[in-house]
Chains A and B, each alone.
Chain A
Amino acid sequence: MSGDAVPSTSPGDADDTAAPIDAVALAIAGHPIPVASFGDFRTAARDLIVRRVPPESVQWSGSETPHGDLLSAGNAGLAPMLPAGLLEQPPAPQPRIPRTLMEMLQSAACYRAPDRWGFLYKIVWRWQLGQQEILSMADEDGARLQHMVKAVRHEEHDMHAYLRFRERPPAAGDPRFVAWFEPAHDVLPQVAQHFAKRMGKISWMIGTPEATVLWDGKRLHGTGPLMRSAADVEDSGEALWLTYYRSIFNPARLNADIMHGHIRTRFWKNLPEAAVVPHMVSQAAAGARKVGQLDTVGKRTGTTIPIAAEKAAPERQQPSSLDDCRRCDLWQNATQAVAGQGARRAKIMLVGEQPGDQEDLAGKPFVGPAGALLDKAMDEAGMDRRKVYITNAVKHFKWEPRGKRRLHKTPAQKEVMACHYWLETELETIAPDIVVALGSTALKSILQSGSVTMKDYMGQPFQHDGRWIVVTYHPSYALRVPSAEARHEAVAAIVEALKTAQRLADGEAPGKL
């Protein structure tokens, strides 16, 4: 495993001064190529590929049998001959292995299988021949490669999850935490890095049957096996864990099969919590599952809390009657009703359609992108937002789910009519002289008619119920139109309408407009 922080403990690496292995020479001689690490394999494989040595002609010996793979040693004399004339050929180009494949090879190299190096070489060889399908699960070798990678990752994951540290008494010095684990593949170096990140400057040691790593708080050190079994450390902290483990289990949901399906059997013997499982299961089966509670909790005397129901409820702002409105169904999927906002005695009232996504969360009208556009338009028209009253024809946001987003939906006329009650109330209290209808929903609400259309009223203020009505686009229409030009026109029309409203408010008769 190149780049690992833990020095490999296998004999191949221990001898740093040894001359590099001449893989090609060994292959010619029919000897197995000794490989102790992924680095060794990489070098050897590169030399072999360059000399075009086919996989059938190479034997490998792996690190788990330091004295040579028995099988290949026995077969040494029978090594397939290299194809004649091979060495006379010009060398092949250096193999170019993409990173994803290199990472897969590196992972698969941790998989304990007697033929792992030979298999990996076959993969490299096939890749060099242009057989890209080895990356696919649908290829036989590809499937095996992926299977190995997956098994190694799985083992790493399990070791992250099911390794248990025990704390040594402070007087015993470093390492403060000790763990024992029996991994099925050579994943200790990677896993050690995981724990180095987790434990900061606290020292620890992990023993496995094959090797040991020690973290001194700064650096990882690797060595051969030091321990033979689970850490022989008394750790009183473990009792708390067992209490927690027993208590967080819900007997009403007993499903031991799933538990066993998740944690592989071979880990159980080193998990402290495994010891309490049989008792928990039998207890649950014997009746605790009826109440879902740990029986020791049930045996204690309990307390009810003496507080009157009225006192228990928190003081909340009384929901306004608007918040409680159920005149139509729109309240259901909205966060809150959004009332109008602005000056109490405003001369001008702007009426939009309905709150949007942002307005629904903030509880204020026109705060989203359409609000920003409206603000700009008001600025341009010389209208002071603080002096007007801004509201919507419909007070709850109507929408439809689109994945994780809310898609605005135009309110139906019956919702507009239901909600007109609230607009009416606002019109009465604010009593504006001029109402600007932003878009067709607003216009329909103001005129209480589903059949009116914008184009009949655009650009010409008219009187209705004793006030001036000015009609223009809704700002979000301007945001929606595709062409920049049309958008420009729409904004200009809104600005123009706001100016008209402002002039009317300033007492100019419409005739002079």
Chain B
Amino acid sequence: MELNDKLEILADAAKYDASCASSGAPKRSSEGKDGIGATNGMGICHSYTPDGRCVSLLKILLTNFCIYDCQYCVNRRTSNVPRARFTVDEVVKLTVDFYLRNYIDGLFLSSGIIQSADYTMEQLVAIARELREVHQFRGYIHLKTIPDADPALIDAAGRYADRLSVNIELPTQDSVQRLAPEKSVHTIKLAMGNIRLKLDEKEAEPKAPKFAPAGQSTQMIVGADASDDQRILTTAETLYGSYKLKRVYYSAFSPIPQSPKSVPLAPPPMLREHRLYQADFLLRSYGFQVGELLPAAGNLALDIDPKLAWALANREHFPMDLNRAEPAMIARIPGIGLRNAKRIVELRRMRQVRYADLVRLKCSMKKIAPFIVTADYRPARDTTPSEALRRSMADVQQQMPLWPELQAA
């Protein structure tokens, strides 16, 4: 099979994984050195495909042959997709060629399980090793770890990769048992724990050999099982705390050809994935807890973002006086992000914050107006019932399903 055909099949097979970022690697440069590649710590999106997702890494599978039968996966063994397998050299060549043309920042490699977990993991490690050692490639490498593989192999992977990920795939143990019968949450957790121990060791002992400097991440598929957002976010919160993950990625379940009956025929609303992403961001960066965003079982609102939803449900904090409020609380006002919260605090050290300042900071005034008090402003509507506020602030456009024809189907 031609390289081009393999690429077609093995990129197609890899596109269901949402993780893509290339940030978090230490700074590296090839200036004046043999080999190629640099990282600036921040990562860059090099292109966007018409699904609006960025291309920052060459995201492919080593092979889409797979002996597992995960129901949500297009490559499950009972699926009749065309199959292909790259050689180690082919993956290396594609990575280097694409990198030189500035299409990508590095490689994100995963694989179907072939022969055994160890065998598959060995192949993944071989590619990373060849890139780093033979080609002195200093770009980004993200390896998807096979959870059942020997910890020694995961250790080796961490020496070459910037990031490792172990996908939890589904938010509950029951769902994993039902939809991914060959997988085991137990070994997935053990693999994550093992990676965290290695990361901790490296942190405590800076001279220890390098280990996945960009940390670890995971992915959860949304909408393939019946778990609600509270369950999903609670699982994420548990994983963040236990394994110090850099990111949990949420990937809306995509309809797959010849879909088995065990998974739904239609995808969840794309907006659900986005709301989870927003909520996750509030957990990671704003100090919110799941219990605050979703105090009871259920899903995040689709018509308004989670921060606005929280504010509407907690009106007792508002309107908040920007000249007095705790800095951490200012960032909890809908329409004020972390950066603007910082700017407001800086400004108020010099003088009183006024309404016009917020306009200049490009805050979303429609959103923040009912929630703030400044030196010269107090909302007229601060007693408006939350429901009425919500109606006036809901993003009507976003309420529409993204694929009307599919939702109807």
The listed residue (A167, A289, A399) touching B100 by CB distance below 8 A is A167
Q: Is A467 at the interface (CB under 8 A from chain B)?
A: no
Q: Is B310 at the interface (CB under 8 A from chain A)?
A: no
Check A247/B11 contact, CB under 8 A, given A305-B66, A360-B193: yes
CB distance from B261 to the nearest CB of A (A): 16
Check A197/B101 contact, CB under 8 A, given A305-B77, A323-B186: no
Q: How far is the CA of A235 from the CA of B257 in the complex (A)?
A: 35
In the complex, the answer to whether A301 meets B77 with C-beta atoms within 8 Å is no
In the complex, the answer to whether A302 meets B83 with C-beta atoms within 8 Å is yes
Q: Is A127 at the interface (CB under 8 A from chain B)?
A: no
The segment from A112-120, A156-164, A453-461, A478-486 found at the interface with B is A156-164
Check A259/B50 contact, CB under 8 A, given A143-B360, A336-B189: yes
Closest to B4 in A: A243
Could you say which of B7, B60, B242, B347 has the most chain A C-beta atoms within 10 Å of its C-beta? B242
CB distance from A176 to the nearest CB of B (A): 8
Residues of chain B lying within 8 A (CB to CB) of residue A261? 52
Closest to B29 in A: A197
The listed residue (B9, B37, B189, B360) touching A335 by CB distance below 8 A is B189
Residues of chain B lying within 8 A (CB to CB) of residue A405? 241
Residues of chain B lying within 8 A (CB to CB) of residue A360? 193, 242
Listed A/B pairs (7) with beta-carbon separation below 8 Å: A136-B347, A136-B350, A248-B12, A281-B50, A293-B257, A314-B148, A404-B240
- Chain B residues 393-409 with CB under 8 Å of chain A are 402-403, 406, 409
Give me the interface of B with A, judged by CB distance under 8 Å: 3-4, 7-9, 11-12, 14-16, 29-38, 40, 44-55, 58-60, 65-69, 74, 77-83, 94, 97-103, 113, 116-117, 136, 148, 173, 181-182, 184, 186-187, 189-190, 192-194, 196-197, 237-238, 240-242, 244, 252, 254-257, 267, 270, 287, 289, 343, 346-347, 350, 357, 360-361, 402-403, 406, 409
In the complex, the answer to whether A244 meets B58 with C-beta atoms within 8 Å is yes
Q: How far is the CA of A298 from the CA of B94 in the complex (A)?
A: 23
Query: What 0/1 pattern do residues 191 to 235 of A give for CB contact below 8 A with B?
Result: 000111111111000000000000000100000000000000001
Q: How far is the CA of A284 from the CA of B9 in the complex (A)?
A: 17
CB distance from B154 to the nearest CB of A (A): 14
In the complex, the answer to whether B45 meets A292 with C-beta atoms within 8 Å is no
Interface of B: prevailing SS: loop
In the complex, the answer to whether A404 meets B7 with C-beta atoms within 8 Å is no
Q: Is A416 at the interface (CB under 8 A from chain B)?
A: no
Q: Is A346 at the interface (CB under 8 A from chain B)?
A: no
Known: A249-B49, A313-B181. 11 other contacts (CB 8 A): A132-B350, A136-B350, A161-B47, A237-B101, A249-B51, A250-B254, A291-B255, A307-B67, A335-B189, A361-B196, A401-B238
Q: Is A304 at the interface (CB under 8 A from chain B)?
A: yes
Residues of chain A lying within 8 A (CB to CB) of residue B255? 252, 290-292
Residues of chain A lying within 8 A (CB to CB) of residue B34? 200-201
Give me the interface of A with B, judged by CB distance under 8 Å: 132-133, 136-138, 143, 157, 160-167, 177, 179, 194-202, 218, 235, 237-241, 243-259, 261-263, 271, 273, 277, 280-281, 284, 289-294, 296-298, 300-305, 307, 309, 311-314, 316, 319, 323, 332-333, 335-336, 360-362, 399, 401-406
In the complex, the answer to whether A316 meets B101 with C-beta atoms within 8 Å is no
Q: How far is the CA of A325 from the CA of B65 in the complex (A)?
A: 35
Q: How far is the CA of A500 from the CA of B46 in the complex (A)?
A: 68
Could you say which of A248, A312, A335 has the most chain B C-beta atoms within 10 Å of its C-beta? A248
Q: How far is the CA of A291 from the CA of B82 in the complex (A)?
A: 15
Q: How far is the CA of A128 from the CA of B67 in the complex (A)?
A: 71
In the complex, the answer to whether A297 meets B81 with C-beta atoms within 8 Å is yes
In the complex, the answer to whether B77 meets A304 with C-beta atoms within 8 Å is yes
In the complex, the answer to whether B361 meets A314 with C-beta atoms within 8 Å is no
Residues of chain B lying within 8 A (CB to CB) of residue A280? 49-50
Residues of chain A lying within 8 A (CB to CB) of residue B82? 297, 300-303
Closest to A135 in B: B346
The listed residue (A238, A305, A307) touching B101 by CB distance below 8 A is A238
In the complex, the answer to whether B287 meets A403 with C-beta atoms within 8 Å is yes
CB distance from A244 to the nearest CB of B (A): 5
The listed residue (A166, A245, A291, A293) touching B49 by CB distance below 8 A is A245
In the complex, the answer to whether B98 meets A241 with C-beta atoms within 8 Å is yes
Could you say which of A132, A167, A241, A336 has the most chain B C-beta atoms within 10 Å of its C-beta? A241
In the complex, the answer to whether B94 meets A406 with C-beta atoms within 8 Å is no
Closest to A256 in B: B50
Closest to A397 in B: B242
Residues of chain A lying within 8 A (CB to CB) of residue B242? 333, 335, 360-361, 406
The listed residue (A245, A293, A304) touching B55 by CB distance below 8 A is A245
In the complex, the answer to whether A259 meets B100 with C-beta atoms within 8 Å is no
In the complex, the answer to whether A163 meets B102 with C-beta atoms within 8 Å is yes
The listed residue (A255, A302, A314) touching B50 by CB distance below 8 A is A255
In the complex, the answer to whether B74 meets A164 with C-beta atoms within 8 Å is no
Residues of chain A lying within 8 A (CB to CB) of residue B69? 309, 312
In the complex, the answer to whether B187 meets A161 with C-beta atoms within 8 Å is no
In the complex, the answer to whether A248 meets B15 with C-beta atoms within 8 Å is yes
Closest to A287 in B: B405
Q: How far is the CA of A254 from the CA of B255 in the complex (A)?
A: 13
Q: How far is the CA of A282 from the CA of B23 in the complex (A)?
A: 33
In the complex, the answer to whether B35 meets A258 with C-beta atoms within 8 Å is no
Check A291/B257 contact, CB under 8 A, given A248-B11, A271-B47, A401-B289: yes
In the complex, the answer to whether A256 meets B52 with C-beta atoms within 8 Å is yes
Q: How far is the CA of A68 from the CA of B88 in the complex (A)?
A: 59
In the complex, the answer to whether B406 meets A240 with C-beta atoms within 8 Å is no
Closest to A195 in B: B102
Q: How far is the CA of A160 from the CA of B289 in the complex (A)?
A: 37
Q: How far is the CA of A166 from the CA of B244 in the complex (A)?
A: 41
Closest to A307 in B: B67
Q: How far is the CA of A160 from the CA of B32 in the complex (A)?
A: 20
Q: How far is the CA of A316 from the CA of B147 in the complex (A)?
A: 11
Q: How far is the CA of A138 from the CA of B31 in the complex (A)?
A: 40
In the complex, the answer to whether A297 meets B98 with C-beta atoms within 8 Å is no
The listed residue (A218, A273, A289, A333) touching B406 by CB distance below 8 A is A289
CB distance from A53 to the nearest CB of B (A): 28
In the complex, the answer to whether A362 meets B197 with C-beta atoms within 8 Å is yes
In the complex, the answer to whether B50 meets A249 with C-beta atoms within 8 Å is yes
Closest to B67 in A: A312
Q: How far is the CA of A294 from the CA of B13 in the complex (A)?
A: 10
Check A293/B343 contact, CB under 8 A, given A177-B101, A259-B48: no
In the complex, the answer to whether B98 meets A244 with C-beta atoms within 8 Å is yes
In the complex, the answer to whether A247 meets B7 with C-beta atoms within 8 Å is yes
Q: How far is the CA of A26 from the CA of B201 in the complex (A)?
A: 64
Q: How far is the CA of A323 from the CA of B267 in the complex (A)?
A: 35
Check A253/B53 contact, CB under 8 A, given A161-B44, A247-B8: yes
Residues of chain A lying within 8 A (CB to CB) of residue B402? 255
CB distance from A213 to the nearest CB of B (A): 14
In the complex, the answer to whether B350 meets A133 with C-beta atoms within 8 Å is yes
